[in-house]
A = this chain, B = another copy of it.
Amino acid sequence: LGALVRELHGAGPLSRSELGMRTGLTRSTVRALIGELATALLVTEEEPEPLGTPGRPSHLVRPNPLRPVSLGLEIAVDSIAGAVVGFGGDVLQSLRVDRPRGELSLDHTVADLAQLAARLDRFDEDSAIGIGVAIAGVVRRADGVVALAPNLGWRDIALSHALRQSLGTMLPIHIGNEADLGALAEARRGAARGASHILFVSGEVGVGGGVIVDGRPLNGIAGFAGEIGHMPLNPAGSACRCGSVGCWETEVGEDALLARAGRERGGGRDAVASVLHDASSGDERAQAALEHVGQWLGYGLAGLVNVLNPELIVLGGLFGRIYEQIADTVELRLDRYALADARRLVRVVPAALGEDAPLLGAAELAFETFLGDPAAWLRPRPALVELATA
Protein backbone atom coordinates (compact mmCIF):
# COMPACT_ATOMS: atom_id res chain seq x y z
CA LEU A 1 0.00 0.00 0.00
CA GLY A 2 2.84 2.35 0.89
CA ALA A 3 4.48 1.78 -2.49
CA LEU A 4 1.24 2.50 -4.38
CA VAL A 5 0.56 5.65 -2.40
CA ARG A 6 4.13 6.87 -2.89
CA GLU A 7 3.85 6.41 -6.66
CA LEU A 8 0.52 8.23 -6.79
CA HIS A 9 1.84 11.09 -4.67
CA GLY A 10 4.96 11.44 -6.76
CA ALA A 11 3.47 11.07 -10.22
CA GLY A 12 -0.18 12.08 -9.86
CA PRO A 13 -2.89 10.12 -11.74
CA LEU A 14 -1.69 6.73 -13.02
CA SER A 15 -3.42 3.82 -14.69
CA ARG A 16 -3.81 0.61 -12.72
CA SER A 17 -1.48 -1.19 -15.10
CA GLU A 18 1.17 1.52 -14.73
CA LEU A 19 0.88 1.25 -10.95
CA GLY A 20 1.39 -2.49 -11.26
CA MET A 21 4.52 -2.03 -13.34
CA ARG A 22 5.99 0.60 -11.04
CA THR A 23 5.36 -1.32 -7.82
CA GLY A 24 5.82 -4.88 -9.07
CA LEU A 25 2.43 -5.81 -7.57
CA THR A 26 0.06 -8.16 -9.39
CA ARG A 27 -3.01 -6.86 -11.16
CA SER A 28 -5.38 -8.31 -8.56
CA THR A 29 -3.37 -6.89 -5.62
CA VAL A 30 -3.39 -3.44 -7.22
CA ARG A 31 -7.15 -3.68 -7.76
CA ALA A 32 -7.79 -4.72 -4.16
CA LEU A 33 -5.55 -2.05 -2.63
CA ILE A 34 -6.92 0.70 -4.87
CA GLY A 35 -10.39 -0.45 -3.81
CA GLU A 36 -9.44 0.14 -0.19
CA LEU A 37 -8.04 3.58 -0.97
CA ALA A 38 -11.19 4.47 -2.91
CA THR A 39 -13.43 3.38 -0.03
CA ALA A 40 -11.44 5.66 2.27
CA LEU A 41 -11.96 8.52 -0.25
CA LEU A 42 -8.21 8.77 -0.86
CA VAL A 43 -8.46 8.08 -4.59
CA THR A 44 -11.07 8.10 -7.32
CA GLU A 45 -11.12 5.70 -10.23
CA GLU A 46 -12.10 6.69 -13.73
CA GLU A 47 -13.56 4.32 -16.29
CA PRO A 48 -11.14 4.23 -19.17
CA GLU A 49 -12.08 5.47 -22.63
CA PRO A 50 -12.45 2.54 -25.03
CA LEU A 51 -9.22 2.29 -26.99
CA GLY A 52 -10.66 1.07 -30.28
CA THR A 53 -8.02 -1.67 -30.18
CA PRO A 54 -8.11 -5.16 -28.71
CA GLY A 55 -7.38 -5.50 -25.01
CA ARG A 56 -9.04 -3.77 -22.12
CA PRO A 57 -7.78 -0.30 -21.27
CA SER A 58 -6.76 0.21 -17.66
CA HIS A 59 -8.63 2.26 -15.03
CA LEU A 60 -7.11 5.64 -14.22
CA VAL A 61 -6.42 6.11 -10.51
CA ARG A 62 -6.48 9.71 -9.35
CA PRO A 63 -5.27 10.74 -5.88
CA ASN A 64 -7.80 12.89 -4.03
CA PRO A 65 -6.09 16.30 -3.84
CA LEU A 66 -8.20 17.21 -0.79
CA ARG A 67 -7.42 14.15 1.32
CA PRO A 68 -5.02 14.16 2.89
CA VAL A 69 -3.50 17.61 2.65
CA SER A 70 -0.46 19.08 4.35
CA LEU A 71 0.52 22.57 5.36
CA GLY A 72 4.01 23.77 4.49
CA LEU A 73 5.39 26.85 6.23
CA GLU A 74 8.66 28.68 5.65
CA ILE A 75 10.65 31.10 7.75
CA ALA A 76 13.06 32.66 5.28
CA VAL A 77 15.49 35.50 5.84
CA ASP A 78 13.22 38.18 4.38
CA SER A 79 9.80 36.56 4.13
CA ILE A 80 7.46 33.98 5.58
CA ALA A 81 5.31 31.73 3.45
CA GLY A 82 2.71 29.00 3.59
CA ALA A 83 1.32 26.45 1.12
CA VAL A 84 -1.41 23.85 1.20
CA VAL A 85 -0.44 20.76 -0.78
CA GLY A 86 -2.76 17.86 -1.56
CA PHE A 87 -2.17 14.14 -2.03
CA GLY A 88 -0.72 13.85 -5.53
CA GLY A 89 1.26 17.05 -5.22
CA ASP A 90 -1.25 19.73 -6.23
CA VAL A 91 -0.48 23.08 -4.61
CA LEU A 92 -3.97 24.09 -3.53
CA GLN A 93 -3.02 27.51 -2.22
CA SER A 94 0.12 29.43 -1.39
CA LEU A 95 1.03 32.76 0.08
CA ARG A 96 4.25 34.68 0.77
CA VAL A 97 4.60 37.80 2.91
CA ASP A 98 7.76 39.91 3.00
CA ARG A 99 9.31 40.76 6.32
CA PRO A 100 12.20 43.03 7.21
CA ARG A 101 15.55 41.26 7.53
CA GLY A 102 17.38 40.99 10.79
CA GLU A 103 16.88 39.53 14.19
CA LEU A 104 13.24 38.74 14.88
CA SER A 105 11.78 37.36 18.05
CA LEU A 106 10.30 33.89 18.20
CA ASP A 107 6.97 35.27 19.50
CA HIS A 108 6.72 37.74 16.68
CA THR A 109 7.53 35.08 14.11
CA VAL A 110 5.06 32.45 15.26
CA ALA A 111 2.34 35.11 15.55
CA ASP A 112 3.03 36.16 11.94
CA LEU A 113 2.91 32.53 10.84
CA ALA A 114 -0.42 31.98 12.61
CA GLN A 115 -1.86 35.03 10.88
CA LEU A 116 -0.62 33.79 7.52
CA ALA A 117 -1.94 30.27 8.15
CA ALA A 118 -5.35 31.71 9.00
CA ARG A 119 -5.52 33.19 5.48
CA LEU A 120 -4.92 29.77 3.90
CA ASP A 121 -8.60 28.78 3.85
CA ARG A 122 -8.00 25.71 1.69
CA PHE A 123 -6.29 24.11 4.67
CA ASP A 124 -8.72 21.80 6.45
CA GLU A 125 -7.32 20.43 9.68
CA ASP A 126 -9.63 17.40 9.61
CA SER A 127 -8.11 16.26 6.31
CA ALA A 128 -4.58 17.23 7.25
CA ILE A 129 -1.69 14.89 7.78
CA GLY A 130 0.55 17.44 9.45
CA ILE A 131 2.57 20.63 9.24
CA GLY A 132 6.09 21.01 7.90
CA VAL A 133 8.27 24.05 8.54
CA ALA A 134 11.36 25.11 6.58
CA ILE A 135 13.81 27.40 8.32
CA ALA A 136 17.13 28.99 7.38
CA GLY A 137 18.98 27.36 10.22
CA VAL A 138 20.53 24.27 11.71
CA VAL A 139 17.85 21.92 12.97
CA ARG A 140 18.36 19.09 15.45
CA ARG A 141 16.49 16.16 14.02
CA ALA A 142 15.50 14.40 17.24
CA ASP A 143 13.31 17.15 18.66
CA GLY A 144 13.07 19.80 15.93
CA VAL A 145 14.93 22.36 18.02
CA VAL A 146 16.53 25.12 15.93
CA ALA A 147 20.10 24.87 17.15
CA LEU A 148 21.29 27.92 15.24
CA ALA A 149 19.67 30.41 12.85
CA PRO A 150 22.21 33.20 12.57
CA ASN A 151 20.08 35.39 10.29
CA LEU A 152 17.30 35.45 12.85
CA GLY A 153 19.61 35.59 15.84
CA TRP A 154 18.17 32.31 17.17
CA ARG A 155 19.97 29.69 19.19
CA ASP A 156 18.41 26.56 20.74
CA ILE A 157 14.84 27.58 19.98
CA ALA A 158 11.99 25.08 20.55
CA LEU A 159 10.14 26.23 17.44
CA SER A 160 7.60 23.44 17.16
CA HIS A 161 6.39 23.98 20.71
CA ALA A 162 5.91 27.73 20.18
CA LEU A 163 4.25 27.15 16.83
CA ARG A 164 1.83 24.61 18.29
CA GLN A 165 0.67 27.16 20.88
CA SER A 166 0.36 29.87 18.29
CA LEU A 167 -1.50 27.79 15.70
CA GLY A 168 -3.58 26.01 18.33
CA THR A 169 -3.23 22.67 16.58
CA MET A 170 -2.77 19.06 17.60
CA LEU A 171 -1.29 18.06 14.23
CA PRO A 172 2.29 16.78 14.13
CA ILE A 173 4.77 19.57 13.37
CA HIS A 174 8.02 18.72 11.58
CA ILE A 175 10.88 21.21 11.36
CA GLY A 176 13.55 21.01 8.66
CA ASN A 177 16.46 22.99 7.28
CA GLU A 178 15.47 25.00 4.20
CA ALA A 179 18.17 23.53 1.97
CA ASP A 180 17.36 19.96 3.03
CA LEU A 181 13.71 20.61 2.24
CA GLY A 182 14.58 22.37 -1.02
CA ALA A 183 16.46 19.22 -2.00
CA LEU A 184 13.45 17.09 -1.11
CA ALA A 185 11.11 19.25 -3.19
CA GLU A 186 13.44 19.42 -6.20
CA ALA A 187 13.92 15.65 -6.03
CA ARG A 188 10.20 14.96 -5.87
CA ARG A 189 8.73 17.73 -8.05
CA GLY A 190 11.50 19.76 -9.61
CA ALA A 191 14.81 19.66 -11.44
CA ALA A 192 16.04 16.45 -9.81
CA ARG A 193 13.03 14.21 -10.45
CA GLY A 194 14.19 10.68 -11.03
CA ALA A 195 17.74 11.27 -9.73
CA SER A 196 18.94 9.39 -6.67
CA HIS A 197 22.26 11.07 -5.79
CA ILE A 198 21.65 14.78 -5.56
CA LEU A 199 23.43 17.80 -4.15
CA PHE A 200 21.14 20.81 -3.73
CA VAL A 201 23.03 24.02 -3.05
CA SER A 202 21.04 27.04 -2.09
CA GLY A 203 22.49 30.47 -1.54
CA GLU A 204 21.14 33.66 -0.03
CA VAL A 205 23.03 35.46 2.72
CA GLY A 206 23.86 31.99 4.02
CA VAL A 207 24.65 28.98 1.89
CA GLY A 208 22.95 25.68 2.69
CA GLY A 209 23.05 22.25 1.21
CA GLY A 210 20.69 19.33 0.98
CA VAL A 211 22.27 16.01 0.08
CA ILE A 212 20.29 13.04 -1.16
CA VAL A 213 22.15 9.72 -1.17
CA ASP A 214 20.52 6.80 -2.91
CA GLY A 215 17.16 8.52 -2.70
CA ARG A 216 17.40 9.22 1.03
CA PRO A 217 18.25 12.52 2.70
CA LEU A 218 21.69 12.65 4.32
CA ASN A 219 21.00 13.82 7.88
CA GLY A 220 24.08 12.76 9.78
CA ILE A 221 23.94 11.58 13.38
CA ALA A 222 21.78 14.49 14.61
CA GLY A 223 20.39 16.22 11.52
CA PHE A 224 23.25 18.72 11.18
CA ALA A 225 24.61 17.31 7.90
CA GLY A 226 24.65 19.46 4.77
CA GLU A 227 26.05 22.62 6.38
CA ILE A 228 28.20 23.05 3.29
CA GLY A 229 28.19 26.83 3.54
CA HIS A 230 30.57 26.41 6.47
CA MET A 231 33.18 24.24 4.80
CA PRO A 232 36.40 26.16 5.40
CA LEU A 233 37.76 26.79 1.88
CA ASN A 234 39.83 29.91 2.01
CA PRO A 235 42.56 29.91 4.68
CA ALA A 236 43.21 33.56 3.75
CA GLY A 237 39.51 34.43 3.85
CA SER A 238 37.38 36.64 6.02
CA ALA A 239 35.43 36.08 9.23
CA CYS A 240 32.16 34.22 8.99
CA ARG A 241 29.00 34.82 11.02
CA CYS A 242 29.44 31.31 12.44
CA GLY A 243 32.64 32.34 14.24
CA SER A 244 34.97 30.57 11.84
CA VAL A 245 37.11 32.02 9.06
CA GLY A 246 37.07 31.54 5.30
CA CYS A 247 33.85 29.52 5.14
CA TRP A 248 32.49 28.91 1.65
CA GLU A 249 29.61 31.35 2.17
CA THR A 250 32.00 34.22 2.88
CA GLU A 251 33.06 33.91 -0.79
CA VAL A 252 29.79 33.01 -2.52
CA GLY A 253 26.96 34.30 -0.30
CA GLU A 254 24.84 37.30 -1.19
CA ASP A 255 26.92 39.72 0.84
CA ALA A 256 30.13 38.61 -0.87
CA LEU A 257 28.50 39.29 -4.25
CA LEU A 258 27.14 42.68 -3.22
CA ALA A 259 30.34 43.87 -1.51
CA ARG A 260 32.46 42.97 -4.53
CA ALA A 261 30.02 44.74 -6.80
CA GLY A 262 30.35 47.87 -4.66
CA ARG A 263 26.90 47.55 -3.09
CA GLU A 264 25.98 47.65 0.54
CA ARG A 265 25.74 44.31 2.30
CA GLY A 266 22.24 43.24 3.27
CA GLY A 267 20.68 44.70 0.12
CA GLY A 268 18.71 41.54 -0.58
CA ARG A 269 17.03 40.36 -3.73
CA ASP A 270 16.62 43.81 -5.33
CA ALA A 271 20.29 44.63 -4.91
CA VAL A 272 21.23 41.28 -6.52
CA ALA A 273 18.87 42.02 -9.40
CA SER A 274 20.55 45.36 -9.94
CA VAL A 275 24.00 43.69 -9.99
CA LEU A 276 22.72 41.31 -12.64
CA HIS A 277 21.30 44.22 -14.62
CA ASP A 278 24.49 46.25 -14.43
CA ALA A 279 26.62 43.25 -15.38
CA SER A 280 24.56 42.69 -18.52
CA SER A 281 24.97 46.40 -19.34
CA GLY A 282 28.74 45.98 -19.25
CA ASP A 283 29.55 47.18 -15.72
CA GLU A 284 32.93 45.57 -15.07
CA ARG A 285 32.74 45.65 -11.31
CA ALA A 286 29.39 43.83 -11.35
CA GLN A 287 30.79 41.32 -13.85
CA ALA A 288 33.86 40.72 -11.72
CA ALA A 289 31.68 40.15 -8.66
CA LEU A 290 29.64 37.49 -10.50
CA GLU A 291 32.85 35.93 -11.81
CA HIS A 292 34.22 35.77 -8.26
CA VAL A 293 31.10 34.00 -7.00
CA GLY A 294 31.13 31.61 -9.98
CA GLN A 295 34.77 30.71 -9.42
CA TRP A 296 34.41 30.03 -5.71
CA LEU A 297 31.12 28.25 -6.24
CA GLY A 298 32.74 25.88 -8.74
CA TYR A 299 35.76 25.44 -6.49
CA GLY A 300 33.64 24.32 -3.54
CA LEU A 301 31.40 22.18 -5.71
CA ALA A 302 34.45 20.35 -7.05
CA GLY A 303 35.36 19.22 -3.54
CA LEU A 304 31.82 18.04 -2.88
CA VAL A 305 31.77 16.16 -6.19
CA ASN A 306 34.90 14.32 -5.05
CA VAL A 307 33.39 13.54 -1.66
CA LEU A 308 29.83 12.65 -2.70
CA ASN A 309 29.94 11.58 -6.38
CA PRO A 310 26.44 12.96 -7.12
CA GLU A 311 24.74 12.68 -10.49
CA LEU A 312 23.11 16.06 -10.23
CA ILE A 313 23.87 19.42 -8.62
CA VAL A 314 20.82 21.67 -8.32
CA LEU A 315 21.54 25.36 -7.75
CA GLY A 316 18.80 27.16 -5.85
CA GLY A 317 18.06 30.57 -4.37
CA LEU A 318 20.63 33.22 -5.33
CA PHE A 319 22.61 30.66 -7.36
CA GLY A 320 19.52 29.76 -9.38
CA ARG A 321 18.88 33.43 -10.15
CA ILE A 322 22.44 34.13 -11.31
CA TYR A 323 22.84 30.68 -12.88
CA GLU A 324 23.01 31.87 -16.50
CA GLN A 325 25.74 34.38 -15.73
CA ILE A 326 27.96 31.96 -13.80
CA ALA A 327 27.30 28.57 -15.42
CA ASP A 328 30.37 28.57 -17.70
CA THR A 329 32.70 29.60 -14.90
CA VAL A 330 31.31 26.93 -12.59
CA GLU A 331 31.74 24.21 -15.23
CA LEU A 332 35.35 25.26 -15.87
CA ARG A 333 36.16 25.14 -12.16
CA LEU A 334 34.67 21.66 -11.96
CA ASP A 335 36.85 20.60 -14.90
CA ARG A 336 39.88 21.93 -13.11
CA TYR A 337 39.32 20.78 -9.53
CA ALA A 338 37.08 17.69 -9.62
CA LEU A 339 38.40 14.19 -10.36
CA ALA A 340 37.75 13.37 -14.00
CA ASP A 341 35.66 10.24 -13.40
CA ALA A 342 33.26 11.83 -10.94
CA ARG A 343 33.21 15.10 -12.86
CA ARG A 344 32.11 13.41 -16.11
CA LEU A 345 29.03 11.97 -14.42
CA VAL A 346 27.67 15.12 -12.79
CA ARG A 347 25.34 17.70 -14.32
CA VAL A 348 24.73 21.16 -12.89
CA VAL A 349 21.23 22.60 -13.32
CA PRO A 350 19.31 25.52 -11.86
CA ALA A 351 16.47 24.73 -9.45
CA ALA A 352 13.07 24.37 -11.12
CA LEU A 353 10.86 25.39 -8.21
CA GLY A 354 12.43 28.79 -7.63
CA GLU A 355 12.17 30.36 -4.23
CA ASP A 356 9.28 28.08 -3.24
CA ALA A 357 11.42 24.92 -3.15
CA PRO A 358 11.92 24.93 0.66
CA LEU A 359 8.24 25.75 1.21
CA LEU A 360 7.07 22.87 -0.97
CA GLY A 361 9.67 20.64 0.66
CA ALA A 362 8.18 21.52 4.04
CA ALA A 363 4.78 20.36 2.81
CA GLU A 364 6.40 17.16 1.49
CA LEU A 365 8.10 16.58 4.84
CA ALA A 366 4.69 16.55 6.51
CA PHE A 367 3.49 14.05 3.90
CA GLU A 368 6.16 11.52 4.84
CA THR A 369 4.07 10.16 7.73
CA PHE A 370 1.26 9.37 5.32
CA LEU A 371 3.54 7.88 2.65
CA GLY A 372 5.22 5.70 5.25
CA ASP A 373 1.99 4.42 6.79
CA PRO A 374 -1.07 5.15 4.65
CA ALA A 375 -3.02 2.35 6.35
CA ALA A 376 -3.81 4.68 9.25
CA TRP A 377 -5.98 6.65 6.80
CA LEU A 378 -8.03 3.60 5.85
CA ARG A 379 -9.60 3.55 9.30
CA PRO A 380 -12.42 5.99 9.98
CA ARG A 381 -11.15 9.11 11.70
CA PRO A 382 -13.07 10.73 14.54
CA ALA A 383 -13.95 13.80 12.50
CA LEU A 384 -15.36 11.68 9.68
CA VAL A 385 -17.30 9.52 12.08
CA GLU A 386 -18.86 12.68 13.51
CA LEU A 387 -19.76 13.85 10.02
CA ALA A 388 -21.23 10.46 9.18
CA THR A 389 -23.37 10.35 12.29
CA ALA A 390 -24.45 14.00 12.15
Taking CB atoms, residues of chain B closer than 8 Å to A299 are 232, 235
Indicate if the CB atoms of A244 and B304 lie closer than 8 Å.
Answer: no
Mask, A212-250, CB within 8 Å of B = 1, is: 011010111111111110111111100000111100000
Does chain B have a CB within 8 A of A196? yes
Report if A36 contacts B (CB, 8 A): no
Q: How near does chain B come to A211, taking the closest CB pair, in angstroms?
A: 8
Interface string of A84-124 (1 = CB under 8 A from B): 00000000000000000000000000000000000000000
Interface string of A288-303 (1 = CB under 8 A from B): 0000000000010011
A303 touches B232 (CB 8 A): yes
Q: Is the CB of A341 within 8 A of B307?
A: no
Do A342 and B222 form a contact, CB below 8 Å, given A236-B236, A303-B231?
Answer: yes
Does the CB pair A220–B244 fall under 8 Å? no
Bound complex: CA of A227 vs CA of B303, how far in Å?
Answer: 9
Across the interface, which residues of B come within 8 angstroms of A154, CB to CB? none
In the complex, which residue of chain B has the Cβ closest to the Cβ of A342? B224
Interface positions, chain A 292-331, Cβ under 8 Å from B, are 299, 302-304, 306-311
- Choose among B220, B236, B336, B337 the residue that contacts A309 (Cβ–Cβ < 8 A): B220
Copies of this chain, complex-wide, total 2
- Point out the residues of chain B lying under 8 angstroms from A209, CB to CB: 307
Contacts of A147 in B (CB 8 A): 341
> Chain A interface residue count: which class?
35 or more
Is A174 close to B, CB under 8 A?
A: no
Cα of A299 to Cα of B299 in the assembled complex, Å: 17
Residue from A213, A234, A242 having most chain B Cβ neighbours under 10 A: A213
Task: Verify B242–A339 contact, CB threshold 8 A.
Answer: yes
> A327 CB to closest chain B CB, in angstroms?
20
Cβ of B220 and Cβ of A337 under 8 Å apart?
no
A308 to B199, CA, bound (A): 13
Q: Are A307 and B213 in contact (CB under 8 A)?
A: no
Q: How far is the CA of A300 from the CA of B244 in the complex (A)?
A: 13
Knowing A230-B306, A233-B303, A303-B231 are in contact, say whether A213-B224 is a contact too (CB < 8 A). no
State A299–B342 Cα separation when bound (angstroms): 24
Most chain B beta carbons < 10 A, residue from A148, A216, A221:
A221
Taking a contact as CB atoms under 8 Å apart, the answer to whether A309 and B221 are in contact is: yes
**Beta-carbon nearest neighbor of A226 in chain B:** B307
Of B211, B224, B245, B341, the contact of A140 (CB 8 Å cutoff): B341
**Given contact pairs A221-B345, A309-B221, A339 touches B148 in the complex (Cβ within 8 A):** yes
Counting CB contacts under 8 A, is A189 at the interface? no
Please state if A311 and B221 are interface contacts (CB–CB under 8 Å): yes
Query: Which 3 pairs from chain A and chain B are nearest by CB?
Result: A220-B309, A231-B303, A225-B309
Beyond contacts A220-B308, A222-B342: 11 other A-B pairs, Cβ-Cβ < 8 A, are: A138-B341, A148-B341, A197-B220, A209-B307, A213-B213, A221-B311, A222-B345, A224-B342, A227-B306, A230-B338, A232-B337
